[in-house]
Amino acid sequence: MRSYCAIYVDVGYLLASAATRVTGTSLRRGVTVDHRALIEGLIQQAETDSGLPLLRVNWYDSGARPSGMPDLHQEEIGLLPRVKLRLGRISHSGEQKGVDLRIGLDLATHGRNRVVDVIYLVSGDDDLTEAVEEAQGHGVQVVILAVPDHADRPYAVARHLQREADGLILIDPDTITQTVRSVAIPAGLIPESAAESAAAAGTEPGAEVAAAVSGQTSAATSSGPRAGETGIAGEPAAQRADDGAAAAEVAASGRNGEKPELLTPAIAREHHGGRRRPPTPSMLAAKKPTGLVPPKPPPPSSTLTWSTSTGQPATIGAEGGITEELVDVVVRQVVTSWCASATPDALVDLKRGRPFIPGDLDRTLLLDLSSRSGVNDIDDPTRHALRDRFWELVDRVRLT
């Protein structure tokens, strides 16, 4: 009988760890992934290391649709050659369910049946240790294939799991770099923070969010001036009424292939043979934002306002390894990563749900803080400080 190797991929571990290496935070939505190239890289590394051909890749993830059904991306992954899609589900609270159990059962069953001779396990979960031992008891080698951190050490692999496995190798860093990309705005391109803009304008930070998202301002929502009045820049009321009628007519028909919703009253008037003028503030007031800009990081020389009188960052709770400065770094990275893929409507929904933080964001905050500090059990005072800082920075997110 021919010998084979196989790869068992805990997708939650792989993508969260890869996202941390690329963006500094484990939020999966903060990265885009070339799944085909990533899987091919893992296959090549496993076959080279073992000297055996690959039987298949078992891809364990939570079904993104209700009842554990795959979404479009997961369907495409399942159609790749030699890839077996194994899905758990997401609970009503947003937690992953059934994935670890599937991995453990497959390790034990495939080991008992000697389906392969070498298993490469892409995971760091201590709960899989007993399943690894079961597979080993039937003569199968189990090697941990771990994501490397920036110091080229295995990222988030339990010590117990490392000790029981037959070996540990790191995924080629080039495989991660070439297939996992950040969707965040580069730091050098991020405009000034909303707090700085608001201070210059004499407004409260975040005050523009509700107005900009809803598209309602005093100029845009007014029913129009009374007869004889003039509007912004001395524009006659009758002229603005004509502008509105012309814009409505052109928006209904479209012009030269342009999207109707992008036609302004000025363009509409030109369409009717009138004189084209620059857009007025009232026109621009109705333009809705399309993206989010996270708060700008503080300058390197600045100190946090909550630092102690000695100039050292204050510690939080009973864990001396977690400081206010570390909390700020973790939260900033999570907010920045979230902003890269979120919409203005998502920001409104997030604020409406305050103080509740969506499950994936809350887990990312805790996981990243635990990973950076080395503290596995985050105490309540630290959790409160982490979430308070999250809302402080969310209030400073700016719309573009």
Asked if pLDDT for residue 10 goes beyond 80, the answer is yes
pLDDT at position 228: 45
For the chain, give every domain's residue range. Answer: 5-182, 188-193+292-399, 216-285
As a whole number, mean pLDDT of residues 351-360 equals 88
Query: Residue 197: what pLDDT?
Result: 45
Distances in Å between the Cα of 114 and the Cα atoms of 28, 81, 165, 238, 250 are 34, 22, 17, 84, 70
pLDDT digits (tens, 9 = 90+) for 279-324: 555 555 556 667 777 787 776 554 454 444 444 455 565 555 788 8
Average pLDDT over residues 133-143: 96
| Sign of CA pseudo-dihedral 172, 178, 181, 187 | positive
Higher pLDDT, 193 or 317: 317
Split at pLDDT 50, 70, 90, the class of 96 is: confident
Q: What is the pLDDT of residue 57?
A: 98
* CA proximity to 113, closest of 90, 134, 143: 134
Question: Is the pLDDT confidence value at 79 over 80?
Answer: yes
CA-nearest of 177, 184, 185, 183 to 18 is: 177
Which pLDDT tens digit goes with each residue over 23-38?
A: 888 888 889 999 999 9
Note the pLDDT of residue 53: 97
Maximum mean pLDDT: which of 212-221, 269-278, 361-370: 361-370
Indicate the DSSP class of residue 313.
Answer: P
- Identify the CA nearest to 158 among candidates 219, 100, 105: 100
Considering only residues 292 and 135, tell me which one the structure prediction assigns the higher pLDDT. Answer: 135
Helices (H), the chain: 11-23, 35-50, 72-78, 99-112, 129-136, 159-164, 173-179, 194-201, 207-214, 218-221, 237-253, 265-271, 281-285, 324-341, 344-352, 359-373, 380-394
- Selected residue with higher pLDDT from 279 and 353: 353
Write the pLDDT tens digit of every residue in 210-256.
454 444 444 444 444 444 444 444 444 444 444 444 444 444 444 44
Where is pLDDT greater, at 387 or 318?
Answer: 387
Q: Give the pLDDT mean for 47-63.
A: 95
Model confidence over 367-386: pLDDT tens digits?
A: 888 888 878 788 888 999 99
Residue 183 predicted with pLDDT over 90: no
- Among 154-158, 290-294, 389-393, which stretch is predicted with the lowest mean pLDDT? 290-294
Residue 64 has pLDDT above 50, yes or no: yes
Please tell me the predicted confidence (pLDDT) of residue 346.
87
At 46 the three-state DSSP class reads helix
Assigned token pair, 6: 């196989």
Q: Does 208 or 63 have the greater pLDDT score?
A: 63
pLDDT for 339-349, tens place per residue? Answer: 888 888 888 89
Measure the CA–CA gap between 24 and 128, rounded to whole angstroms: 26
What is the fold, at CATH topology level, of the domain defined by 5-182? Rossmann fold (3.40.50)
Instruction: Output the average pLDDT for the chain.
Output: 77
Give CA–CA dist 217/45, Å, rounded. 58
Residue 140 is given by DSSP the state -
Predicted pLDDT at 360: 82
d(CA 110, CA 241): 74
Total-model pTM: 0.63
Instruction: Give first-to-last CA distance, the chain, whole Å.
Output: 62
Q: So what's the pLDDT on residue 387?
A: 92
User: Nearest 5°: phi and psi at 103?
Assistant: -60, -45
Q: What is the pLDDT of residue 282?
A: 53
